[in-house]
């Protein structure tokens, strides 16, 4: 009996066989993945900016080294993810152009400002924490290169989360000013972090198809609930409070109930009206534009060298690390 | 705190090495998230991270010596965060603003050359602790030197624009290069005869890379100095006010 390509594809997915770049896939699957992976890659790279904001002001040499290493990890995540997306037939430059033209999104969380040192801890603990919730299931996502990239990324993200928590823990045991700094950062980051999981399930249009293709394995609301349950417990160790009067353990559901999310704010930030949208995108565009002559020079040099020695490894994208 | 009244040449020398590493690391870290390509962003951040790490090793050693001397508890952080610019002993080149990628590359190349051959000599030093730190850093330095030399070649021999920018960078920065081998008393005390070989190696390396890159070294120009004895440019004060802000605003707390 003959089965269509589409049916064979779905059978593979149902049998948990990974889809690899050369395999046949529906065009919509390819496009969905390009959109999701590039959006994730952009988030890693734009996400370097709010934390990069504090490198030169880190309060100790140890903290400075930790922060530098963390942001370097995020750049590395961007690299793996751009490479994973490239296997689907889009170039990194194209993805950058989509970002710079405002046609590709990145996580809205990075459109919030980092105002005090405590924000470095809050980002590690809450933002990386929410990212892990989203990403651990992605280690089993149906597209092979994405799943493998996620395995590496998740290991580092959970390290970041512990470091962020530890940094807040020190503040929470410190002076009154440090405690206030810690609480203030939690207050500002909590709700935007809940929005990181995306709109509620009944308003999320991509979910059903993505679940069927096993790109996604849990719904937005399921992941959000897991995150709330985790953080509501961890915050007790910090002796701090989450800024939600409705947060309460629900014995019947065995979950924490939480208050209403301000979805109007979410949609506004997504539309470009968050506190730092313009700044973040302008910064990325400026880095790209200012770097144009550098990339040109590296390409020209690589061409000269390869003409000389048939060696093409000398480009600006060569991993010199 | 001030370390200006300390006469011990080893302590001064350690502070000089640490300050060089910290201040150039600070400047390089300003590129994080703003580099011309992601790989290069990572590379330069990685270099900054090495430099902060080297600074910490030298500060920690200096701090233990100062604590022994004064009886008060001095840490790497009190040395980095609680001294004013007259106490800092880094070369002026390290504190100059980043400018464009060409200036940053030139700065990093010059620093890498001098640090590489210096640490190579220090790795043989009779002071085992100093030799140990230098030897440990040498692997990192050979990467910094390779990375920055590669970039000098790319820019010098890339496009017309990159060549012009590189030559402009040389015009802006060259008068800050001699300070590295214009030795002051505490350096002579620690380095002794080895300065001759260090100086020769550095000059040969710079000449060779510039020649291959097709870049011209200016002759007979005025050379600035003073950083090693605490006479800095205006830029260092701004670096310190940014870097030290939290330690100054909230003194004596743990982070
Ligand atoms: Fe990441
Ligand atoms: Fe991530
Ligand atoms: Fe992370």
Give the whole-angstrom CA distance, residue B46 versus residue A174. 31
pLDDT at A318: 53
Distance of CA A188 to the CA centre of its chain: 19
For chain B, what is the mean pLDDT?
A: 97
Give the whole-angstrom CA distance, residue B24 versus residue B178. 17
List C-alpha distances in Å: B254 to A167, A201, B117, B251: 10, 43, 37, 9
- State the pLDDT confidence band at A39, using cuts at 50, 70 and 90: very high
Instruction: Provide the CATH number for the domain formed by B9-249 in this structure.
Output: 1.20.1260.10
pLDDT at A118: 98
**Ligand 3 centroid to residue B16 C-alpha, Å:** 34
Q: How far apart are the first and last CA of chain B?
A: 19
Mean pLDDT for B119-142 is 97
Estimate the share of chain B in helix, then strand, then coil, as percent rounded to the nearest 5: 75, 0, 25
* Predicted confidence (pLDDT) at residue A236 exceeds the cutoff of 60: yes
* Predicted confidence (pLDDT) at residue A211 exceeds the cutoff of 90: no
pTM of the model: 0.95
Measured from the Cβ of residue B225, the count of other Cβ atoms closer than 10 Å reads 16
Using an 8 Å Cβ cutoff, are B187 and B120 in contact?
A: no
Q: Which residues surround ligand 1, an ion (CB under 5 A)?
A: A 44, 74, 77
As for the ipTM of the complex, it is 0.97
Span A92-112, pLDDT tens digits: 999 999 999 999 999 999 999
* Min Cα separation A229/chain B (Å): 28
The full set of domain ranges for chain B reads 9-249
- State the pLDDT confidence band at B3, using cuts at 50, 70 and 90: confident
* Predicted confidence (pLDDT) at residue A235 exceeds the cutoff of 60: yes
Among B18, B45, B163, the strongest candidate for a mutation testing the A interface, having the largest count of A CBs within 10 A, is B45
Nearest CA in chain A to B241: A57
- State the pLDDT confidence band at A202, using cuts at 50, 70 and 90: confident
Six token digits for residue B25: 């690391």
């Amino acid at each position: 009996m003959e089965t269509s390509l589409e049916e064979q594809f779905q059978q593979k997915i149902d049998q948990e066989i990974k889809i690899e770049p050369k395999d046949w896939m529906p065009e919509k699957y390819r496009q969905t993945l390009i959109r999701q992976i590039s959006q994730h890659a952009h988030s890693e790279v734009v996400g370097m900016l709010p934390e990069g904001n504090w490198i030169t002001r880190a309060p100790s040499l140890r903290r400075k080294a930790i922060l530098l290493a963390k942001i370097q990890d995020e750049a590395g995540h961007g690299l793996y993810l751009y490479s994973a997306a490239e296997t689907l037939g889009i170039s990194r430059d194209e993805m950058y152009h989509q970002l710079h033209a405002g046609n590709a999104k990145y996580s809205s969380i990075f459109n919030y400002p980092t105002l005090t040192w405590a924000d470095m801890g809050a980002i590690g603990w809450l933002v990386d924490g929410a990212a892990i919730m989203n990403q651990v299931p992605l280690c089993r996502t149906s597209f092979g290169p994405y799943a493998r990239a996620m395995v590496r990324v998740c290991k580092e993200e959970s390290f970041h989360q512990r470091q962020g928590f530890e940094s807040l823990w020190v503040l929470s045991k410190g002076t009154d000013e440090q405690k206030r700094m810690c609480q203030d950062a939690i207050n500002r980051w909590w709700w935007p972090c809940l929005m990181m999981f995306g709109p509620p399930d009944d308003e999320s249009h991509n979910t059903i198809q993505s679940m069927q293709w096993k790109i996604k394995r849990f719904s937005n609301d399921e992941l959000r609930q897991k995150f709330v349950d985790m953080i509501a417990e961890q915050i007790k160790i910090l002796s701090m409070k989450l800024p939600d009067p409705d947060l309460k353990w629900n014995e019947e559901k065995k979950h924490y109930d939480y208050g209403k999310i301000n979805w109007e704010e979410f949609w506004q930030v997504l539309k470009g009206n968050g506190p730092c949208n313009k700044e973040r995108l302008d910064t990325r565009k400026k880095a790209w534009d200012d770097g144009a002559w550098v990339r040109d020079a590296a390409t020209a040099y690589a061409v000269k060298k390869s003409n000389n020695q048939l060696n093409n490894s000398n480009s600006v994208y060569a991993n010199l690390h | 705190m001030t370390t200006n009244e300390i006469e011990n040449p080893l302590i001064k020398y350690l502070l000089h090495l640490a300050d060089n590493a910290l201040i150039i690391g600070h400047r390089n870290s300003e590129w994080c998230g703003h580099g011309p390509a992601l790989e290069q962003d990572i590379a330069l951040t990685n270099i900054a991270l090495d430099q902060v790490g080297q600074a910490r090793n030298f500060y920690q050693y200096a701090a233990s010596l100062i604590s022994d001397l004064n009886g008060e508890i001095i840490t790497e952080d009190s040395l980095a965060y609680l001294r004013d610019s007259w106490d800092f002993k880094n070369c002026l080149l390290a504190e100059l603003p980043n400018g464009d990628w060409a200036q940053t590359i030139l700065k990093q190349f010059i620093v890498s050359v001098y640090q590489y051959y210096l640490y190579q000599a220090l790795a043989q030093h009779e002071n085992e602790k100093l030799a140990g730190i230098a030897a440990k850093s040498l692997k990192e330095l050979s990467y910094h030197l390779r990375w920055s030399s590669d970039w000098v070649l790319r820019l010098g021999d890339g496009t017309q624009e990159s060549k012009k920018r590189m030559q402009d960078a040389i015009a802006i920065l060259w008068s800050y290069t001699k300070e590295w081998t214009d030795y002051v008393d505490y350096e002579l005390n620690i380095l002794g005869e080895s300065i001759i070989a260090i100086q020769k190696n550095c000059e040969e390396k710079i000449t060779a890379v510039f020649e291959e890159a097709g870049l011209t070294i200016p002759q007979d120009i005025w050379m600035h100095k003073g950083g090693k004895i605490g006479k800095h440019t205006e830029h260092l004060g701004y670096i310190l006010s940014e870097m030290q802000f939290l330690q100054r605003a909230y003194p004596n707390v743990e982070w």
